[in-house]
Amino acid sequence: MPPSGKIIELRQVLAERFPRELPPPSSLLATGIDCLDRPLEGGLRRGSITQLVAPLPSSGSASLLHELIESMQAASQFVALIDGKNSFELIDPANLLLWIRCDNVSQAIRAADLIIRDGNIVLSILDLKQNEARELRKVPATAWYRLQRVTAEFETTLLLITSYYISGSSIAALQINNPLRITDFTELSSTISQSRLIDFIYRKNHHVEPQYAQA
């Protein structure tokens, strides 16, 4: 089925706003955030899905997301944020950020598929942290594997953020293990990042049993 006029128009807009550039030679996309790059041995792997699991409401995933966007902006890298519950709050203007606000998981996955296929954006972030577990469980496994195939085909990078481990198509998964305290918000953003404890729960052939949501 040929793409609709709206999809073609959106692709044209994306191509104008985010002109295609040659990718750097490295197979890793360094985020500039040590607590992410270090356990991943240098950064997010291109052509793959990496999952960030934030099981606690006060885990600090929102502040980490802001730091990630700011770091990529500072490196002049284009970022797409697919907001699965229309819950993201933009603090500072971000000229290199494409923010797609969705109402549910189905919309967000379709949007991510479209953005990745465009091929103009180095990093796409699919944020499903605020979506309920029962909604996520309705997503068939084939949807995640399709996103992985498209990500590999266009040699881009997808970061999936959820409250529990769900995607078997991820090349790696990290979990935030310590919640933020009130005193943490009095510190500089970079200080919080360096002190946050993040461990990998899945990477290639090394697997640690993930903790699933009970609800």
pLDDT in tens, 42-85: 999 999 999 999 887 766 788 889 899 999 989 988 899 999 99
Decide which of 88 and 2 is more confident: 88
pLDDT confidence of residue 39: 87
> Both tokens of residue 145?
């594997």
Distance CA 184, CA 168 (A): 33
Domains and CATH numbers, the chain: 42-197 (3.40.50.300)
The answer to whether the beta carbons of residues 18 and 120 sit under 8 Å apart is yes
> Both tokens of residue 47?
């052509």
Asked whether residue 155 carries a pLDDT value surpassing 80, the answer given is yes
pTM across the whole model: 0.78
Q: What are phi and psi of 114, to 5 degrees?
A: -65, -45
pLDDT confidence of residue 152: 94
pLDDT class of 138 with cuts at 50, 70, 90: very high
Distance CA 85, CA 88 (A): 8
Decide which of 157 and 199 is more confident: 157
Give Cα separations from 126 to 7, 112, 183 (angstroms). 19, 7, 29
How does pLDDT run across 159-205, given as a tens digit for each residue? 999 998 887 789 999 988 765 554 554 454 444 444 456 776 767 54
Q: 35 Cβ partners below 8 Å, 6+ apart?
A: 64, 193, 194, 196, 197, 198
pLDDT confidence of residue 191: 44
Q: What are phi and psi of 55, to 5 degrees?
A: -75, -20
What single-letter amino acid sits at 139? V
Asked whether residue 16 carries a pLDDT value surpassing 60, the answer given is yes
